[in-house]
Structure 1
Amino acid sequence: MKLKLRILALITLLIPSYLFSVEQPLSIAFVEYPPYHFTSGDGVEGISIRIIEEAFRRTEIPIEFNVMPWSRALIWLRLGKIDGMVGVFIRPERLEYIDYSKLPLSKAQIHLFVTEGSNIEYSEDLTKLSHFRFGVKKDFSYGPYFDDLVAQNKLTKLTYEVDIPQLLVKLCTGVTDIMVGERRNSEYVFNQLIKETYPQLTRCKKIIALTPAIDARLAYLAFSKQNQLTDIRDRFDEAMNSMKQDGSLNRIIQSYDPQLSN
């Protein structure tokens, strides 16, 4: 009898957990990051959201989205309290607890932003701007070039915030001189806040993205290694490949902006 129980327990461990309860949806976290992933009324919206929904529709695996702060989502992903997270960049230390999708969800163009009329220029050497005050997002990667300069204490005048509106406010009120951000996201949020006559941005007529970009990063769907979701990750990758081949991936992307393509 004990031998049978041991065999049953071993078989149970070998079967992916999602097969025991196909009705239990995968919990996928995201942060407010329009136009890629964001809340809209009682639902969720964005380029990456639509891509993920279509891929999992093809795999017939139920999912649910949960919005939460970036730092908490990373911690919960490590602990296995959530199954996945949208729009995560690859960093070496994250490979310990994340299985990434093979195809990216989006390509992020990281720029330095200043206010209109600023005399700050970028010559592809960030160390020449080290005397300026930078606004950056907490626990966010801006690419190896920027991240390494911070790690080496060559960029030290950093102000951290948890979301883009707070960073925009500090840029527009002069608390910081430069904001680091993804171009499409930063411009989208700024334009939305201006439309809402956000009072703290009244001094800021426009934000300018300095060129060239300091980095271009690919953002992926991250799966928690703690929850042993390799099989599901592989099925998601297969669905993404089929979407790329039949053109539906680009159709989703271009439905938000005809100038975008993957």
Structure 2
Amino acid sequence: MRSLIFTVLLALFLSASTYVAVAQEPLQLVTLDYPPYEYKEDGEVKGVAVRIVREIFRRLDRKIEIQVLPWARSLKMVEVGRADAIFTVYRTPERELFLDYSLEMLIPQEVSLFTRKGFPLPNKTKLEDLINYRFGTRRGVSYGDKFDQAVESKRIKSVYRATEGDALIKMLLSRRVDIIPFNRLGGYYRFQRLGVVDDIVELSPPIQSVPSYIAFSKKRKHKSLRDQVDEVLREIRADGTYAAMTNYQLVQ
């Protein structure tokens, strides 16, 4: 009898130890190269959204590891459960099948259309007036439901895709495409870094302002953690931390 009790207690102890060890493992977060929100520089993951995410998990006392990967690969990793969470991700019906989205927006992203300087356009520059031009987009990236639906319904007839943001800009300047959509802040960041701000024209008005989120892999069953993240997001907005972290000054 004593031997049986000892065996049961030992099994419970080992199970508890294993649980603690697993719980202490860093959460694996994935994102894309999308400055100034998230990017890798000198081996360190940086950016406006990264600062917010790090602060959230610091307050939750949870260790995290962030990888910057091609966007399609990041989405696949959370879909199959090889990563715990992904940011900054737009909400789409397809992604809701495998992601538990935070209910609180992580950061808003205003999407604009850009063309090269001197390119002849009609007086009206709303999306519906431009559907017959050649568009360039980034593979696997959503630009909000308004633009995405125009592509899916084939109202926008010519769409050429690039893997990286810089490649997309080069496609525009080399005249392979006429118009590219871009997160406004991210677009200007890249234009400045490439030294092509004066060669590119932003069309007005912007397509839309799209909320982006942190979302968790349904395979990893993180709904409770998702709720904690929402609570901290509300907290850092209320105490002024969020405003301080997102005060990115764009030099134009």
TM-score range, shorter chain: 0.7 to 0.9
Opposite residue 237 of structure 2, the aligned amino acid is: K
Report matched runs for 1:52-131 at 5 Å.
Answer: 52-121=53-122, 123=124, 125-131=126-132
Structure 1 vs Structure 2: percent identity of aligned residues?
29
Query: Which residue matches 1:153?
Result: 154
Query: Which residue matches 2:35?
Result: 34
SS in 2 for 1:39: strand
Query: Which residue matches 1:211?
Result: 204
Query: Which residue matches 1:224?
Result: 217
Q: How many Å apart are 1:162 and its aligned residue? A: 1.3
1:24-60 CA-to-partner distances (Å, cap 9, x unmatched) read 1000011111111111212111111000101100000
Alpha carbons 2:126, 2:205 under 8 Å: kept: no
Query: Which has the larger displacement, 98-107 or 57-66?
Result: 98-107
Using the alignment, how far apart are the partners of 2:87 and 2:173 within structure 1? 29
SS in 1 for 2:180: strand
| CA shift in 2, pair 1:41/1:114, >3 Å | same
Opposite residue 213 of structure 2, the aligned amino acid is: Y
Query: Which residue matches 2:242?
Result: 249
Opposite residue 163 of structure 2, the aligned amino acid is: V
Opposite residue 141 of structure 1, the aligned amino acid is: S
TM, length-normalised to structure 1: 0.85
Q: Which runs of 4+ in 1 moved over 6 A?
A: none
Q: Does 1:132 align with 2:133?
A: yes
Using the alignment, how far apart are the partners of 1:41 and 1:187 within structure 2? 21
* The structure with more radius of gyration: 2
| CA shift in 2, pair 1:55/1:143, >3 Å | same
SS in 2 for 1:213: coil
Query: Which residue matches 2:188?
Result: 187
Alpha carbons 1:114, 1:177 under 8 Å: kept: yes
Opposite residue 257 of structure 1, the aligned amino acid is: Q
1:68-108 CA-to-partner distances (Å, cap 9, x unmatched) read 10001111110001111110000011111111112222111
Opposite residue 27 of structure 2, the aligned amino acid is: L
Using the alignment, how far apart are the partners of 2:235 and 2:250 within structure 1? 21
Q: How many Å apart are 1:127 and its aligned residue? A: 3.9
SS in 1 for 2:207: strand
Opposite residue 226 of structure 1, the aligned amino acid is: K
SS in 2 for 1:24: coil
SS in 2 for 1:57: helix
Opposite residue 108 of structure 1, the aligned amino acid is: Q
Q: List runs of 5+ in structure 2 lacking aligned partners.
A: none
Query: Which residue matches 2:173?
Result: 172
SS in 1 for 2:238: helix
Using the alignment, how far apart are the partners of 2:27 and 2:123 within structure 1? 43
Superposition RMSD in Å: 2.5
SS in 2 for 1:92: coil
SS in 1 for 2:161: strand
Using the alignment, how far apart are the partners of 2:30 and 2:158 within structure 1? 31
Using the alignment, how far apart are the partners of 2:138 and 2:48 within structure 1? 21
Opposite residue 99 of structure 2, the aligned amino acid is: I
Q: List runs of 5+ in structure 1 lacking aligned partners.
A: 195-200
Opposite residue 45 of structure 1, the aligned amino acid is: K
